[in-house]
Amino acid sequence: MILTDKFLIGIGSCLVALGVAFLLATPYMLDTRDPFVLGGFFWSIIGGTTIGFGWHARDKKTKQLDAMR
């Protein structure tokens, strides 16, 4: 699992971007404003959590590589 940390950080960034896009779309869709706001916050939180998992995996991998040196 060499690319686990980079993959998680990349996917998390995409999910945060999706959440921001939902939040930016709220002024244009006034009749469906509440679902867009809820979706924006939801995807931003899920993306931030995924980025956190990626950072944790990167730190864990860095510690393992340092121990092998």
pLDDT digits (tens, 9 = 90+) for 24-53: 999 988 888 899 999 999 999 999 999 999
Cβ atoms of 38 and 58 closer than 8 Å: no
More confident site: 1 or 24: 24
Q: Can you give the pLDDT at residue 52?
A: 95
pTM confidence score: 0.83
Domain total of the chain: 1
What is the extent of the structural domain holding 10? 4-68
Rounded to whole angstroms, the Cα distance separating 67 from 44 reads 35
